[in-house]
Amino acid sequence: VPDELELAFSPEVLVGWRVWRVARPIDREATALELAAALLAAERRGDFGSVEDLFRLRLRSLTEPTFWPVGSRLEASCHAAAQEHEAPCVGCECGIWAFRSSAAVEATVAAYRYCGTPIAFGRVALWGRVIEHERGWRGALAAPLDLFVCGSSAAATSEVAAAYGVEASAVPWPQVDPEPLVERGPGQVA
């Protein structure tokens, strides 16, 4: 991976596809101890909104415990390196990911079907510093543009749509053929 890339400038946001979990920052069925710990964690990460907001459905990163803010942009940060750096960084995997193709996203949605939370996918706008890759982008700033929610009720889908001020539709899980775990040739025994 080169240290420096060709640099371009644009006034137009990039639009890609990505996947989110749909979850509440604090589970309504949490115990008092879990609730206390979750409130403390919210304060430590600078989440100073009303406590009520922590019980509402939000978009959450698939792989990070990051909830997407309501009414404002998500700003990327990187804590992976020994020394924190501005995200996205060329030699790192940090930044807010988005894919060029919705097909790549559908395969990810199907893979998370049994993860225990509804899964949303849809278009996302990226801006600020963006690193363009062959099949997608990593951006510094992002906001959702529209959502399709799998494994969710109509009411929960509406709650998410209202929270982020975007259109959202409840849709069935995508039918994607799973890749075989082991490729077998003729006569091979598993």
Q: Which residues bind other proteins (CB under 8 A)?
A: 1-2, 5-14, 49-50, 52-53, 56, 70-73, 90, 97, 99, 104, 107-108, 125-138, 141, 143-145, 161-166
What residues contact residue 44 under an 8 Å CB cut-off, 6+ apart? none
Q: How far is the CB of 17 from other proteins (least distance, A)?
A: 11
Query: Residue 58 or residue 185: which is nearer to other proteins going by CB?
Result: 58
Q: 71, 58 in Cβ contact below 8 A?
A: no
CB closer to other proteins, 54 vs 170: 54
Q: How far is the CB of 114 from other proteins (least distance, A)?
A: 18
Classify residue 112 as left (phi > 0), alpha (psi -120 to 50) or beta.
alpha
Least distance CB 79 / other proteins (angstroms): 20
Residue 18 and residue 142: Cα distance in Å, rounded?
A: 11
Closest distance to other proteins from the beta carbon of 88 (Å): 9
Instruction: For residues 62 and 46, give the distance between their C-alpha atoms in angstroms, rounded to a whole number.
Output: 21
| 61 versus 186: smaller Cβ distance to other proteins | 61
Instruction: Report, in Å, the least distance between residue 188 CB and other proteins.
Output: 27
Nearest to 144 by CA among 119, 161, 169: 161
Q: Which is nearer to other proteins, 22 or 143 (CB)?
A: 143
Instruction: Report residue 112 as tokens.
Output: 């998370």
Angle formed at CA 35 by CA 51 and CA 64, multiple of 5 degrees: 85
Of 7 and 33, nearer to other proteins (C-beta) is: 7
